[in-house]
Chain A
């Protein structure tokens, strides 16, 4: 039986590209690439820890973009952001396929890896678009527009540009509670921040203390608008939920039953 090899990287995109480099350099037969802390299922796999090397990562990317179209490049990066288990292996295969063909392969939909990358990128793109739509800012007393999100995929890095160009004259924070980091835009440029929320920060008293006095009024106005604009004789709950899945409702003020 051939020993199988499993690469462990640090979870960054550069780390993943370093893995691709390592596979080429050392001609390893890899059957998995894992981010740190993933439980191992294969008993006889040999684990190699790959140290992220910026130089190697750059070489791989440079070689890749020589052949890949803009769409293919985006697809690979978006797929990486999906954090879907085993997507790293598909990315490796996609890149190997590109280097073998010496041309862009993003239209080769009959190749399972290409199709998988394209479909995953599509999912991440959809989540990006949803976050651009479903972020609800609340104005704090410090005059910062604040929003919490819990996206399915790690889309914060790719929504940064949208929010920076749209809200360039107001301070804002978008915080990913699931991954515990956020973006703070200070009227100059967005920075990555980490916040330690105190455990009782969900209490309503603390909220009142935090937010501007007009904030709750605007949320109520928005909810009123949302209700008034519904046509009762056309109610279609299935369609409603299809467009706005329930898992997002927590952060949508118009779906908050408390504001009436």
Chain B
């Protein structure tokens, strides 16, 4: 290998790929057959963490950062004056295998700028995946980007080698997309998404009849939206996310706080802060929708189009719906336990198990891991002295804020800093 040249390319093409948030390597089972290389047992592994605290699970690179499009929010846009490079197919294969053998990574995440046209680019991406699977007997994880506008035949082939396919919707609203990426068509994003969704459904139903049916994108599809680039509300973002979860069976929707990269007047200017707190709140909402049984309209609606930055969305919901509390932790259904602020999935599960042995009190709940500083205002348990005062939402909120520390507090505490 020409290490110097590879190093230079790696630097350029990893740098350009880093704005893709997804680095998940879970959800796909591929066992090692005939002493091949690698396996995926369905659990992802983060092999390292960048200095910004994000997981490094996959070798995440672009095949090339040459691109015929000029989307305002993208670093590799055609009009941007940056160094360009391109990997050869074999180079990507060699890098992946050598990194994998040293236990650096779970697999490959390959994306690309669009050169010539969509199909030409997609075909190259598939060639890398195919080579890894067929020639190198590689059972690690492969995530390929679906190139907007790629043909159905290519998308079918891609799913046979990749574990996950993703198209980044990037701008949550159609009008925002028109403004920031006028050459791109919303329907071009939807087309490969739809094809992959239908193929997954078809393969899964065939699998039930014929066991030898090959795997098709076993880790499903994901997408990503940029937050804070085109002035959309939290409600618009989450409604859009909900739409993709429901209609395209997305495994994940990622939210990426916009990192200013240009002086384009349509976008937040260089040097403006990355909206990390907002991003965090959106992820919390996403989790509430997927694992806690919340409907998006309960958390965000016309009266509350934006999330409260000071407190998490579940607490915010509970304060607006005080009539549903207090909940008796010793008798409530799982669905209701999950709605108590300060009780997570793990705690709810432990409560359900432990209360079969005896009634739970504050000490038990604390030992189990419930965040009592929030939960105490919303529960009844086997202790005397539960919260009996009739506190209003504003009072509870200020009590909780006063008795807790938040990692983002400095970002919004204009009021608190007076003290």
Q: How far is the CA of A111 from the CA of B137 in the complex (A)?
A: 49
Given the complex, which residues of A lie within 8 Å of B18, measured CB to CB? 228-231
Given the complex, which residues of B lie within 8 Å of A169, measured CB to CB? 35-37, 137
Contacts A165-B39, A221-B95, A231-B19; A107 near B353 (Cβ below 8 A):
yes
1/0 per residue A70-96: CB within 8 Å of B? 000000000000000000000000000
Q: Is B47 touching A133 in the complex (CB atoms < 8 A)?
A: yes
Q: Is A107 touching B357 in the complex (CB atoms < 8 A)?
A: yes
B339 within 8 A of A: no
Q: How far is the CA of A242 from the CA of B51 in the complex (A)?
A: 11
Q: Is B6 touching A221 in the complex (CB atoms < 8 A)?
A: yes
Given the complex, which residues of A lie within 8 Å of B360, measured CB to CB? 110
Q: Is B14 touching A137 in the complex (CB atoms < 8 A)?
A: no
Q: How far is the CB of B413 from chain A (nearest CB, A)?
A: 18
Given the complex, which residues of A lie within 8 Å of B39, measured CB to CB? 165-166
A56 within 8 A of B: no
Given the complex, which residues of A lie within 8 Å of B52, measured CB to CB? 230-232, 234-236, 239-240
Q: Is B31 touching A235 in the complex (CB atoms < 8 A)?
A: no
Contacts A221-B7, A224-B10, A243-B53; A136 near B103 (Cβ below 8 A):
yes
Q: Is B99 touching A133 in the complex (CB atoms < 8 A)?
A: no
A68 within 8 A of B: no
A256 within 8 A of B: no
B384 within 8 A of A: no
Chain B residue nearest to A226 in the complex (CB): B48
Q: How far is the CB of B12 from chain A (nearest CB, A)?
A: 8
Find A226's partner among B36, B50, B95 (CB 8 Å cutoff): B50
Q: How far is the CA of A226 from the CA of B76 in the complex (A)?
A: 20
Given the complex, which residues of A lie within 8 Å of B53, measured CB to CB? 234, 236, 238-240, 242-243
Contacts A145-B101, A234-B52, A237-B51; A110 near B358 (Cβ below 8 A):
yes
Segment at the A interface, from B54-62, B236-244, B398-406: B54-62
Q: Is A221 touching B56 in the complex (CB atoms < 8 A)?
A: no
Q: How far is the CA of A50 from the CA of B48 in the complex (A)?
A: 44
Q: Is B98 touching A218 in the complex (CB atoms < 8 A)?
A: yes
Q: Is B31 touching A165 in the complex (CB atoms < 8 A)?
A: yes
Contacts A224-B11, A229-B14; A243 near B358 (Cβ below 8 A):
no
Q: Which residues of A from 85 to 122 have beta carbons under 8 Å from B?
A: 105-111, 115
Q: Is A228 touching B101 in the complex (CB atoms < 8 A)?
A: no
Q: Is A168 touching B32 in the complex (CB atoms < 8 A)?
A: yes
Q: How far is the CA of A48 from the CA of B357 in the complex (A)?
A: 35
Q: How far is the CA of A229 from the CA of B47 in the complex (A)?
A: 14
Find A222's partner among B60, B99, B137, B356 (CB 8 Å cutoff): B99
Q: Is B356 touching A110 in the complex (CB atoms < 8 A)?
A: no
Q: Is A228 touching B14 in the complex (CB atoms < 8 A)?
A: yes
1/0 per residue A240-259: CB within 8 Å of B? 10111000000010100000
Q: Is A110 touching B15 in the complex (CB atoms < 8 A)?
A: no
Q: Which residues of B from 335 to 363 have beta carbons under 8 Å from A?
A: 350, 353-354, 356-358, 360
B291 within 8 A of A: no
A225 within 8 A of B: yes
Find B3's partner among A138, A166, A187, A217 (CB 8 Å cutoff): A217
Considering only CB atoms and an 8 Å cut-off, how many residues of chain B contact the other chain? 57
Contacts A145-B101, A230-B50, A234-B274; A109 near B38 (Cβ below 8 A):
no
A134 within 8 A of B: yes
Chain A residue nearest to B140 in the complex (CB): A166
Given the complex, which residues of B lie within 8 Å of A237, measured CB to CB? 51
Q: How far is the CB of B83 from chain A (nearest CB, A)?
A: 12
Q: How far is the CB of B137 from chain A (nearest CB, A)?
A: 8
Given the complex, which residues of B lie within 8 Å of A167, measured CB to CB? 37-38, 101, 103
Given the complex, which residues of A lie within 8 Å of B376, measured CB to CB? none
Q: How far is the CA of A157 from the CA of B144 in the complex (A)?
A: 35
Q: Which residues of A from 40 to 70 have beta carbons under 8 Å from B?
A: none
A147 within 8 A of B: yes
Q: How far is the CA of A234 from the CA of B11 in the complex (A)?
A: 18
Given the complex, which residues of A lie within 8 Å of B1, measured CB to CB? 214, 217
Contacts A108-B357, A235-B51; A137 near B103 (Cβ below 8 A):
yes
Q: Is B32 touching A115 in the complex (CB atoms < 8 A)?
A: no
A132 within 8 A of B: yes
Q: Which residues of B from 80 to 113 have beta carbons under 8 Å from A?
A: 95, 98-99, 101-104
Q: Is A145 touching B102 in the complex (CB atoms < 8 A)?
A: yes
Contacts A110-B364, A132-B45, A233-B259; A228 near B11 (Cβ below 8 A):
yes
Q: How far is the CA of A42 from the CA of B37 in the complex (A)?
A: 53
Q: Is A221 touching B101 in the complex (CB atoms < 8 A)?
A: no
Q: Which residues of B from 237 to 269 have beta carbons under 8 Å from A?
A: 257, 259-260
Q: Is A229 touching B56 in the complex (CB atoms < 8 A)?
A: yes
B418 within 8 A of A: no
7 CB contacts below 8 A, A to B, read A107-B354, A137-B102, A166-B39, A167-B37, A168-B36, A170-B101, A230-B51
A-B pairs, top 6 by smallest CB distance, nearest first, are: A239-B53, A107-B353, A234-B52, A228-B14, A109-B354, A243-B49
**New contact pairs (11) apart from A214-B1, A221-B6, A231-B259, CB-CB < 8 Å:** A106-B353, A110-B354, A166-B32, A167-B38, A169-B36, A169-B37, A217-B3, A229-B18, A229-B60, A230-B51, A244-B49
